[in-house]
Amino acid sequence: MPLGPLLHDLSLLYFALAFGTDGKLDREERAAMRDQLRAWAPGSDPSLFDHVLREAALSYENGLSDPQIDALLDRLREALDAPGRKQVLADLSRLAAADDRVHAAEEALIERVRQVWAD
């Protein structure tokens, strides 16, 4: 998968966790998402990450159903090797803790990702 679609899919998953589980996107969560995306594309223009996050927010606002999340997870499973998937799970855990509160819904989404990728 080319870098642009990969970053979009990652940011959409991050956004689903950070905003979708509690309806709020704290400054700390947004900063964590930006930092995590930078780690996936070191050396890229910083404006790329802001653009990708805006696109993911728009995609999320248009609705993200369970089947769409499943399709997103399938695309990422295909695009990433086992260490990459492990990194995404670590990213999600750090993102969930970024606002100093890990909600049950965040834990549930992380577990869902883990289970889908374990199959």
Residue that has been written with the tokens 């959409």 in this structure: 12
Q: Is 42 helix (H, G, I), strand (E, B) or coil?
A: coil
pLDDT digits (tens, 9 = 90+) for 28-37: 888 898 999 9
pLDDT level of residue 81 (50, 70, 90 thresholds): very high
Average pLDDT estimate for 38-42: 92
pLDDT tops 80 at residue 48: yes
- Answer yes or no: is pLDDT of 46 > 90: no
**Which pair of tokens denotes residue 70?**
């499943």
Question: Has residue 112 got a pLDDT over 90?
Answer: yes
Percent above pLDDT 90 for the chain: 46
Q: Is the pLDDT of residue 119 over 70?
A: no
Domains and CATH numbers, the chain: 3-118 (1.10.3680.10)
* Furthest-apart CA atoms within the chain: distance in Å: 36
pLDDT tens for residues 51-68? 888 888 888 777 777 888
Let me know the angle formed at the C-alpha of 36 by 13 and 95, rounded to the nearest 5 degrees: 60
The DSSP string of 46-94 is HHHHHHHHHHHHHHHHT---HHHHHHHHHHHHHHS-HHHHHHHHHHHHH
